[in-house]
C-alpha cells in the first residue's frame, strides 16, 4: 500500500515508521525542510524508545522516506494519514488550521480516488469539515473517502502501542474505505488485536472521551489524596483497594503532582469547548482541569512545611519531563513548581535523563546537573517531580552526605515513607502523611 503520512511530529513520525514496519510503503511529508533533512540522515527529533531502530531498518529496506514535496506525494499515494498538530486556540478549542491546509492541498492536486484518514486528535465533526473542503477545492469531481482513525499512543510506549495496541478504532462510511483500512492493518489483525469499526463521528469522540476519562481518574485520586493527608490515610493503600474492584481496575489511580503532556491538558479543554458549542454542560470536565491545576501547585506548601523560608535556599529537582521515557516538557508540572520556587527566592538545581535540552529552552536561571547526586549536592531539600526509574534505588546515605539537610518531597510517591524516615530523611509524599 502506498501511504502518505502528513506531519513528522510525534504522532506522524511514529505512525509513518510503524506503518512501514507493517509492510506498507510510506512517504512522510512535512514543510520543515531542516527536520526532513535530519530524518533522511537518520536523526530523530524526539526521544521515543525503539523508534530509531525501526526507522533505520525500514529506511534500509526502502519502505519509508521523507520529503517536503507534498504535490508529488499526493499524485503517488492512495491513502493520506493527516497527523499534523492541533494546538489549543484562543478559547481552548482545537486549532484545525493545519488540517484545513492539508485537505485543501489534497483537493487541489488529486487526480484519482483517495482515502483521507484523520489521525490527528480532532473534535467531532472534523471529518465532515475535511470532506466539505475537498469537495469545494477539487478541480473536477473525483471520488474520495474521509476516515477517522484516532491515535492512542503513550509517549515512551508509542511503538508498542501502535504495533500491539489495546484497540484500533476506525470510523468509516463506505465499504471501499473499510476494505483499504483492513488491508493497512492486516498485520495487526493477525495478532488478534481488536479492530473496532464504527461511524465516523463516534470514532472522533472516542479519542477525546478516552483521554478525558483517564484525566478524570488522575484528578479524582489527587483530590482524594488531600483527604488522606488530613485524615491520616495512605492514598496508595486506598488506590490499591479501589483497583481490586473489577469495575474500577488499578490503572491511572496514582496520586501525584498532576498530569501534563501534549494530550490530556489540551484534549480535556477541547472537549469542554466542543460540549459548550453543542449546548452541553461540562461540569465534571471543568472540575478535572481545575483540580489538576491546583495539584501542580500543591507541592509548594509541602516544601514550605519542611523549608519554611525558601529565600536563598537551594532546592534540587529530580525530573523535568511531564512523565518518564520522554523528553516532552509540554504542560509539565515541573515548570509550574520551579517557577513558583524561584518566585519565592529559591535557587534551583535540576536533573532529567532526557528532557534537559528541551527544558533549557523553557526554564531559565537554574543549574542543570549531570546526575541525581550532583543535583543533591548542597541542597536544602530534594523534590521528585518525574518518576524516572533511576531515581528509585539511590544510595540514601550518599544523598545525606552531600545535602545541607536530608529533606525529600516526593511528588510521585516513589519512596516508602517509613523507610525514608528510618534512613534519617524528613519526608512528605502525596496523600501519605508527614514522616520525620
Helices (H), 307-416: 333-343, 356-360, 372-376, 396-402
- In the prediction, which pLDDT does 269 show? 93
Instruction: Tell me which of 263, 280, 369, 379 is the catalytic residue.
Output: 263
pLDDT of amino acid 92: 82
Please state the rounded mean pLDDT for residues 177-182.
97
Percent pLDDT > 70 in the chain is 99
Indicate whether 434 pLDDT > 80: no
* pTM recorded for the entire structure: 0.91
Percent of the chain at pLDDT exceeding 90 = 94
Handedness of CA 196, 198, 204, 209 (dihedral sign): negative
Pairing of strands 426-428, 434-435: antiparallel
pLDDT tens for 242-255 read 999 999 999 999 99
For the chain, the domains span 2-198, 207-295, 298-435
Query: Can you read off the three cell numbers belonging to residue 93?
Result: 478549542
CATH entry 3.30.465.10 includes domain 298-435? no
Domain 2-198 adopts which CATH fold? Rossmann fold (3.40.50)
Domains 2-198 and 298-435 share a fold: yes
| Cβ contacts of 29 within 8 Å, gap of 6 or more | 4, 5, 6, 7, 8, 66, 67, 68, 69, 70, 73
Work out whether the CA dihedral 39, 44, 48, 53 comes out positive or negative: positive
263 belongs to the catalytic site: yes
Binned at pLDDT 50, 70 and 90, residue 91 comes out as confident
Nearest to 369 by CA among 317, 330, 414, 404: 317
Assess contact for 332 and 262: CB atoms under 8 A.
Answer: no
Q: Which CATH architecture has domain 207-295?
A: Orthogonal Bundle (1.10)
pLDDT, one tens digit per residue, over 6-22 is: 999 999 999 999 999 99
| pLDDT confidence band for 315 (50 / 70 / 90) | very high
Edge-first strand order for the sheet with 367-368 is 367-368, 347-351, 314-318, 381-384, 407-410, 426-428, 434-435
What is the C-alpha separation between 357 and 355, in angstroms, rounded?
Answer: 6
Mean pLDDT of the chain: 95
pLDDT of residue 379: 98
Query: According to the model, what pLDDT value does residue 435 have?
Result: 57
Amino acid at each position: 500500500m502506498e501511504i502518505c503520512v502528513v506531519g513528522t511530529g510525534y504522532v506522524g513520525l511514529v505512525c509513518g515508521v510503524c506503518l512501514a514496519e507493517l509492510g506498507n510503503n510510506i512517504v512522510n511529508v512535512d514543510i520543515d525542510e531542516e527536520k526532513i533533512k535530519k530524518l533522511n540522515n537518520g536523526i530523530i527529533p524526539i526521544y521515543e524508545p525503539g523508534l530509531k531502530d525501526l526507522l533505520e531498518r525500514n529506511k534500509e529496506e526502502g519502505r519509508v522516506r521523507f520529503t517536503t514535496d507534498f504535490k508529488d506525494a499526493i499524485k503517488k499515494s492512495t491513502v493520506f494519514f493527516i497527523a499534523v498538530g492541533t494546538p489549543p486556540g484562543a478559547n481552548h478549542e482545537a486549532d484545525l488550521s493545519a488540517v484545513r491546509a492539508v485537505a485543501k492541498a489534497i483537493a487541489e492536486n488529486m487526480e484519482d480516488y483517495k482515502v483521507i484518514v484523520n489521525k490527528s486528535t480532532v473534535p467531532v465533526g472534523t471529518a465532515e469539515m475535511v470532506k466539505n473542503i475537498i469537495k469545494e477545492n477539487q478541480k473536477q469531481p473525483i471520488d474520495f473517502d474521509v476516515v477517522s482513525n484516532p491515535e492512542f499512543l503513550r509517549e515512551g510506549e508509542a511503538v508498542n502501542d501502535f504495533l500491539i495496541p489495546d484497540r484500533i478504532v476506525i470510523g468509516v462510511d463506505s465499504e471501499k474505505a473499510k476494505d483499504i483500512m483492513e488491508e493497512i492493518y492486516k498485520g495487526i489483525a493477525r495478532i488478534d488485536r481488536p479492530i473496532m469499526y464504527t461511524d465516523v463521528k463516534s470514532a472522533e469522540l472516542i479519542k477525546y472521551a478516552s483521554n478525558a476519562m483517564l484525566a478524570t481518574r488522575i484528578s479524582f485520586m489527587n483530590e482524594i489524596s488531600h483527604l488522606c493527608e488530613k485524615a491520616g490515610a495512605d492514598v496508595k493503600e486506598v488506590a490499591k483497594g479501589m483497583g481490586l474492584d473489577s469495575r474500577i481496575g488499578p490503572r491511572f489511580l496514582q496520586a501525584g503532582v498532576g498530569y501534563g503532556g501534549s494530550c490530556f491538558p489540551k484534549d480535556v479543554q477541547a472537549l469542554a469547548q466542543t460540549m459548550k458549542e453543542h449546548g452541553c454542560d461540562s461540569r465534571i470536565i471543568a472540575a478535572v482541569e481545575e483540580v489538576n491545576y491546583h495539584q501542580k501547585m500543591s507541592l509548594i506548601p509541602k516544601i514550605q512545611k519542611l523549608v519554611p523560608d525558601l529565600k536563598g535556599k537551594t532546592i534540587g529537582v529530580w525530573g523535568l519531563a511531564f512523565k518518564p521515557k520522554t523528553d516532552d516538557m509540554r504542560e509539565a508540572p515541573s515548570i509550574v513548581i520551579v517557577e513558583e520556587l524561584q518566585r519565592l527566592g529559591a535557587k534551583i538545581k535540576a536533573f532529567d535523563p532526557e528532557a534537559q535540552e528541551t527544558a533549557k529552552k523553557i526554564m531559565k536561571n537554574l543549574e542543570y546537573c549531570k546526575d541525581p547526586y550532583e543535583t543533591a549536592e548542597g541542597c536544602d531539600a530534594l523534590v521528585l517531580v518525574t518518576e524516572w526509574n533511576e531515581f528509585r534505588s539511590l544510595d540514601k546515605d550518599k544523598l545525606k552526605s552531600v545535602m545541607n539537610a536530608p529533606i525529600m518531597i516526593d511528588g510521585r510517591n516513589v519512596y516508602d515513607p517509613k523507610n525514608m524516615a528510618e534512613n534519617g530523611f524528613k519526608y512528605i509524599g502525596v496523600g501519605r502523611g508527614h514522616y520525620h
